[in-house]
Amino acid sequence: MGNNNNNNQEQEIDLRQLFYLLRRNQKAIILITILLGLVTFLVSNFLITPEYSSTVKLYVNNKTVTNADSLTTSDLAAAQQLVGTYVAIIQSDLVLNAVIEQTGVNYSPEQIKEMMTAGSVNNTEVFYVTIQGKNPLECAEIADEIATSSPTKIAEIVEGSSVRILDRAKVNDKPVYPNVKLNTAIGLLLGFVVICLVIIIRNLMDNKIKFEEDIEAVTEIPIIGVITEY
């Protein structure tokens, strides 16, 4: 019991000393935190090239019939399984070369594939294709042409299946990268953590006595008086 009390007391003293240490250096902490946050904001806002994205949504139907009443649960399950196959076909050179030819963009199929993300929407038979790049108009053109060209190409490859366009691509003037607010918040947090660590490490390496708390940390003799600093 005596050892536990001593350990708790030492821990409380260490935490109190840490609080006093950070409070004594609060001006430096605030300054560095704001400075690094400002640097991160300026870099994100002015030095990093913004990127934009456009998205199309398509619906997978594994039957050639158009009557919705004839669709069964097994049809929908099969359609969900086909999403992965359709995405792979869309990312193939067969589709991407047709997109390049129709849009006239100066990209290779591999470059467009790097700009593309695609996948199922909430594990449904609906899937999306997103194109992200530096030109918002170009991204919309590529995404929209993918939606236009892929149904025909998919129908040629996967017999008895079809794809319909749900949402066309729209030109998005708001950049999706970089996230200036998030980067600034990370910069502020990083600045705070870094300056606090620097102050703590410097204090641990410094064995000089400067304040009353430093004396209390090394001896139990009470402090009778303090010479005022002028």
User: pLDDT digits over 139-186, tens only?
Assistant: 999 999 999 999 888 888 887 777 889 999 999 999 999 999 999 999
Q: Examine the domain organization and report whether 56 and 131 are in the same domain.
A: yes
In a domain, 226, yes or no: no
In a domain, 60, yes or no: yes
* Mean pLDDT, rounded, for 74-91: 79
Q: Examine the domain organization and report whether 56 and 157 are in the same domain.
A: yes
- Of 143, 167, 191, the position where a domain reaches its end is 167
Residue 49: pLDDT above 90?
yes
Indicate the pTM of the whole model: 0.69
Q: For residue 77, what are the domain limits?
A: 52-167
Q: Examine the domain organization and report whether 150 and 183 are in the same domain.
A: no
Q: Examine the domain organization and report whether 22 and 98 are in the same domain.
A: no
Q: Examine the domain organization and report whether 128 and 142 are in the same domain.
A: yes
Q: Examine the domain organization and report whether 138 and 64 are in the same domain.
A: yes
- Tokens representing residue 188 in the block: 């502020």
- Tokens representing residue 64 in the block: 């050639």
CATH classification of the domain holding 98: 3.30.70.1130
Residue 128: pLDDT above 70?
yes
- Scan for tokens 């019939």, then name that residue: 65
In a domain, 125, yes or no: yes
Q: Examine the domain organization and report whether 82 and 163 are in the same domain.
A: yes
> pLDDT at position 65, please?
44
> pLDDT at position 123, please?
79
